[in-house]
Amino acid sequence: MPKDSTKTDQFIPSWLNDEFLETALKSDDVCGDLKVTSSNIVRATAAGDNYLSLIYRATVQITTRGQSENRSLIVKCQPEGANLKEITKEYKLFDLETKMLKDVLPAMHKLLREANINFTPFSAKCLYSHCSPSLQVIVLEDLKEFGFEMAERTAGLDQDHCMLVMKKLAQFHAASLALKEKNPELLETFLDPCSKNMITEFGKYVQQFILGLCDEIEEKCEELKKYTGRIRKIGETVVQRLVEGRVGKMDEFSVLTHGDSWLNNMMFCYSTEDRQLLDMRMVDYQMCIWTSPAVDLLYFLNSSPAMDLLVDQEMFIEEYHRVLGETLSALGYQHLHITLDHLNQLIESRGFYGTLSVFGIRNAVLVDDESYVSADDGLRNDQIKCKYSKLFIESMKIQVPLMERRGWLV
């Protein structure tokens, strides 16, 4: 490691040094005279914030065009845990994300720009990537430098944030439909992704969690005891139904979905004066799949809103539908739009996927230090003891009866 590089975390890998950072930056440097003179590298996320990768922030001092300047980069690499590392390699998740960041998203942005649609990018700019058996890494611009930040996870997202997410997902989905019409070859990777088998692996983890939740309820939550039989039945069938709920169906209205659309994969920007919400970006494109838009909508709406927005969500579906139609019309593909009734039918037909978002993802939103269990510990380890935060149990008191009313507890 060059002597000027500073690593403030002993677990930062040896390859993440000035030489690597210079290589990454030069791949995006048109002049070619860029030099890294020093860097400071820290872990950028805490436990519970990210599962399928490690995230580092590198503050880099460079010289270019005869001038010195500082840049901040995000370096995303394979996770430390043996089980998760194996999953990212076996299912080529970094290859999938690289394809999205370098090919698919720029093509979608181009279509939206050419149609004079008012939009902002869906992601941070990808500066460099390398995928090999020994190293899987992606280097991105640091959205924090542009004023973006994570939302307060355990508080959930308020109405303004949720409406902005609906707009962003609608534009993303609409652009994917236009791209499939113009350049279908760019999307072939996502029509039948290898992540189907990976979902089975995570389904086993979710199964442990649901069955353990039944024991927790029976021991500590009297008002939910009457539901444990049905919840246990869901846990026993969750693996196959999780796959079925995610994969696209023949002749069904489908789009390119983000596939992991919860609040930890979103960053938001606010005005400096009064912190008015201005913009958002989505991060983590490892789970993208061509399937029903209901997958993204159910995943987000059952995992990420604030407690007071979990019940009445029609306004969010209506906003998504409005922006989807508006964007498709501007792109010249109004004929691909569906009615609001059709969209609601898609959502209801995959209600079980919403149930899995409640049981599987909502807990990740509300996890605390005491209830955190490493995903690597949970995967392929059926002896792990799952833990449940007090906030999650409170959320279940709202969401379990709601799922019963919707007919999802079957």
DSSP assignment, residue 77?
E
Rounded Cα distance, 267 and 265, in Å: 7
- pTM (global) more than 0.85: yes
Percent of the chain with pLDDT over 70: 89
Query: For the chain, how far is it from start to end, CA to CA, in angstroms?
Result: 56
Residue 99 has pLDDT above 80, yes or no: yes
Q: Could you tell me where in the chain the CATH 3.30.160 domains are found?
A: 5-77
The mean pLDDT of the chain is 89
Rounded Cα distance, 61 and 235, in Å: 51
pLDDT of residue 117: 98
169-200: buried (b, 16+ CB within 10 Å) or exposed (e) per residue? bbbbbbbbbbbbeeeeebbebbeebebeebbe
Kind and range of the H or E element at 40? strand 35-43
Cβ–Cβ under 8 Å, residues 388 and 371: yes
Rounded Cα distance, 203 and 235, in Å: 9
Percent of the chain with pLDDT over 90: 71
93 torsion bin: left (phi>0), alpha (psi -120 to 50), beta (else):
alpha
pLDDT of residue 247: 86
Write out pLDDT tens, residues 18-37.
999 999 999 887 666 899 99
Angle of CA points 42, 35, 65, to nearest 5°:
125
Amino acid at 295: V
Tokens of 104: 């698919």
Write out pLDDT tens, residues 240-273.
888 888 888 888 999 999 999 999 999 999 999 9
pLDDT of residue 2: 38
Chain centroid to Cα 185, Å, comes to: 24
Q: Which CATH architecture best describes the domain 5-77?
A: 2-Layer Sandwich (3.30)
Question: Which among 59, 123, 153 has a CA at the least distance from the CA of 282?
Answer: 123
The residue-averaged pLDDT of 132-138 equals 89
Angle of CA points 347, 338, 310, to nearest 5°:
30
Query: Residue 14, SS3?
Result: coil
Name the fold adopted by 98-124+154-406.
Aminoglycoside 3'-phosphotransferase; Chain: A, domain 2 (3.90.1200)
Instruction: Identify any residues that bridge with 358 across adjacent strands, giving them in sequence order.
Output: none
Q: Could you tell me where in the chain the CATH 3.90.1200 domains are found?
A: 98-124+154-406
pLDDT of residue 50: 56
Residue 273: how many CA atoms within 13 Å on its side-chain side? 1
